[in-house]
């Protein structure tokens, strides 16, 4: 791999970390609490992360199933809207950044200052019993908006909890939900395990953490102990207007089972898989301008993982392990579009292979009370096969650690407010300008609130 490509890939990775980290469009909805007269803590172990009761509420199509779910029971002035934003102070540091002014061509860069997160503007709820919607326009910190989630839902079709449909743009059926993540720094704002791709890999599609466009069937037992789902998605990572993978589809499948473990709590284990295809060949016009729609040359990729939610009273562990596989064309950089265009006569670099890797995630929570939670997460991404035999075997490996706490001084059914304090650290092998490991750290102090 050329160092120019390495830098490009590294830059992309870093940029994506910063981008995603800053847009933590998580979902915690006082509008629901207000509608039902429930405190945030009823549905959230610590908002925005759901507990089992909240998961069941969500799986029922944002309904308590008490014959009072239809909006006809609401005060006519009730408007199911919530916003969330996090003013903050943060310190971000990168130990090796390519800098013209540095004698070695690279140096440590640290920046500190007061800042804003993006803004999430959630609206959601029932339109009628068993018909619901969710619309979430979300901005980045400078205020440019996109649609993070837009969906309609039909639930309990034919009176069966096993027949629920979602249509639109939604988060995949992840038990450990990235949209409800409790960690907020520029490093920890996403799960590495859900977004990892090998260095130089061009598959920008199989990102399990992102909201995706498609249709999902979900079924669950009445008390939600057993859950299954299958989704058909456009392979374009939630990008609208049929850009990129206009003619390619992926599937996402998930199943889980919960167990009553007496005094310890309800434990849950599950598995998921994403299997899909995405294009590597783009048409161009007028001498090289990409025609984004109608890309062809589909190649395949898949991800499969195991999830466990384990509770020991106040202490709980969320565990995810995920295996990833990308077709050799993606491994060689194709998929993201020109200049990597799989046209006539283009061949793979000699010795190219399909890259594979494994990710591990362990997040621990100590819920001291519904108002104070301590959080730790460790993630390790390990390449098991590099796309090019010449790559160092550990190229792109990631170690990420974060810890912090959230303190919720108020506990009501009207609004949420948290004092958030967190430190994160990440090391990526072979990603520094000098070809060695790159280390970043981030410290964040902020007010996280929604109303």
Partner 1 sequence: MRTNIREWSLLASAVVLLVSPCVCRAQITEYQQHQWLRMESHIGNLTGHARAAEMDYRRYCVGCHGELGDGNGENAPWVDPKPRDFELAIFKCRSTPTGTLPTDEDLFNSIARGLDRSNMPQWSTFTKQMRADLVAWVKHFSPRWQTEKPGTPIQIPPEPEVTADRIKDGQAVFQKVECWKCHGVTGKANGPSAATLTDDQNRPISAYDFTEGARPKCGDTDQDLYRIFMTGLDGTPMPSFADNIKPDEAWDLVFYLRTLEPQKSKEKEIAKQLGLKPVAPSTAPAAAPPQ
* Under rule CB under 8 A, residue 128 binds partner 1: no
Q: How far apart are the C-alpha atoms of 293 and 244, rounded to whole Å?
A: 6
- Residue 291: CB atoms within 10 A of its CB come to 11
Alpha-carbon distances of 196 from 98, 222, 378, rounded to whole Å: 23, 35, 14
Task: Give me the least distance between CB of 373 and ligand HEC, in Å please.
Answer: 20
Output DSSP code: residue 437. -
Q: What are phi and psi of 328, to 5 degrees?
A: -55, -30
Smallest distance from the beta carbon of 63 to partner 1, in angstroms?
A: 10
Site size toward partner 1 (CB under 8 A) is: 29
Output the six-digit token pair for 127. 């339109």
As measured in angstroms, the least distance from the Cβ of 277 to partner 1 is 38
Longest Cα pair distance anywhere in the chain, in angstroms?
71
Residue 111 neighbours by CB under 8 Å, 6+ apart: 91, 92, 93
Q: At its nearest, how many Å lie between ligand HEC and the CB of residue 42?
A: 6
Provide the 8-state DSSP code for 7. Answer: H
- List the x/- string, 12-41, binding to ligand HEC by CB under 6 A: ------------------------xxx---
The yes or no reply on residue 353 touching partner 1 (CB under 8 A) is no
Q: Quick one: which segment of 51-59, 81-89, 281-289, 331-339 binds partner 1 (CB under 8 A)?
A: 51-59
Of 214 and 265, CB closest to ligand HEC: 265
Binding to ligand HEC (CB under 6 A): which residues in 38-57? 38
Q: Between residues 36 and 374, which has the closer beta carbon with respect to partner 1? A: 36
Q: Tell which positions 365-424 bind partner 1, by CB under 8 A.
A: 369-370, 411-413
- Give the C-alpha separation, 353 to 362, whole Å: 30
Are the C-beta atoms of 391 and 406 separated by less than 8 Å? no
What DSSP line would sit under 27-68, residue for residue? Answer: ---HHHHHHHT--HHHHEEETTEE-HHHHHHHHTTS---SS-
By CB under 8 A, tell whether 66 contacts partner 1: yes
Task: Spell out the residues 6+ positions from residue 262 whose beta carbon is closer than 8 angstroms to its own.
Answer: none
Is 266 among the residues that bind ligand HEC (CB under 6 A)? no
- The minimum distance between CB 435 and ligand HEC, in angstroms, equals 57
**What string marks each residue from 377 to 396 as x (binds ligand HEC by CB under 6 A) or -?**
--------------------
Contacting residue, 120, 148, 201, 224, with partner 1 by CB under 8 A: 224
Q: Measured at CB, which residue is nearest to ligand HEC? A: 37
Nearest residue to 62 via CA among 119, 121, 128: 128
**100, 143, 158, 263: which one binds partner 1 (CB under 8 A):** 263
Q: In the complex, which residues of this chain contact partner 1 (CB under 8 A)?
A: 36-39, 41-42, 52-53, 55-56, 64-68, 222-224, 260-263, 265-266, 369-370, 411-413
């Amino acid at each position: 791999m050329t160092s120019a490509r390495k830098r490009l890939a590294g830059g992309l990775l870093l940029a994506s970390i910063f981008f995603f980290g800053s847009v933590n469009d998580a979902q915690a909805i006082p509008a629901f609490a207000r509608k039902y007269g429930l405190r945030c803590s009823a549905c959230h172990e610590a908002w925005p992360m759901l507990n089992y009761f909240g998961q069941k509420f969500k799986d029922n199509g944002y309904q308590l199933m008490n014959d009072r779910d239809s909006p006809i029971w609401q005060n006519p002035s009730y408007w199911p809207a919530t916003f969330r934003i996090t003013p903050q102070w943060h310190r971000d540091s990168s130990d090796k950044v390519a800098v013209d002014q540095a004698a070695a061509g690279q140096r440590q860069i640290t920046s500190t200052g007061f800042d804003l997160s993006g803004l999430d503007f959630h609206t959601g709820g029932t339109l009628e019993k068993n018909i619901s919607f969710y619309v979430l326009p979300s901005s980045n910190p400078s205020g440019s908006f996109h649609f993070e989630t837009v969906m309609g839902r039909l639930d309990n079709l034919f009176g069966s909890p096993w027949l629920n449909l979602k249509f639109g743009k939604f988060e995949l059926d992840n038990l450990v939900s990235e949209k409800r993540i409790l960690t907020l720094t520029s490093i920890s704002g996403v799960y590495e395990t859900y977004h990892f791709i090998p260095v130089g890999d061009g598959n920008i599609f199989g990102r399990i953490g992102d909201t995706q466009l498609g249709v999902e069937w979900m079924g669950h037992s009445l008390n939600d102990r057993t859950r299954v789902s299958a989704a058909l998605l456009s392979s374009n990572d939630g990008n609208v207007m049929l850009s990129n993978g206009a003619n390619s589809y992926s599937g996402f499948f998930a199943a889980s089972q919960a167990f009553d473990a007496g005094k310890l709590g309800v434990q849950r284990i599950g598995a998921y898989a994403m299997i899909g295809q995405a294009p590597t060949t783009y048409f161009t016009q007028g001498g090289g301008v990409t025609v984004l729609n109608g890309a062809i040359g589909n190649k395949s990729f898949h991800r499969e993982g195991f999830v466990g939610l384990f509770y020991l009273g106040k202490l709980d562990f969320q565990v995810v392990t995920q295996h990833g596989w990308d077709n050799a064309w993606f491994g060689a950089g194709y998929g993201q579009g020109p200049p990597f265009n799989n046209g006539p006569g283009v061949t793979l670099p000699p010795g190219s292979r399909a890259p594979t890797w494994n990710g591990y995630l362990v997040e621990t929570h100590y819920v001291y009370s519904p108002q104070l939670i301590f959080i730790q997460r460790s993630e390790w991404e390990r390449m098991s096969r590099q796309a090019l035999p010449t790559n160092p075997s550990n190229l792109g490996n990631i170690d990420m650690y974060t810890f912090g706490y959230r303190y919720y001084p108020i506990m009501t059914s009207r609004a949420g407010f948290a004092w958030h304090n967190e430190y994160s650290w990440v090391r990526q092998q072979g990603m520094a300008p000098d070809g060695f490991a790159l280390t970043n750290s981030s410290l964040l102090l902020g007010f996280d609130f929604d109303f």
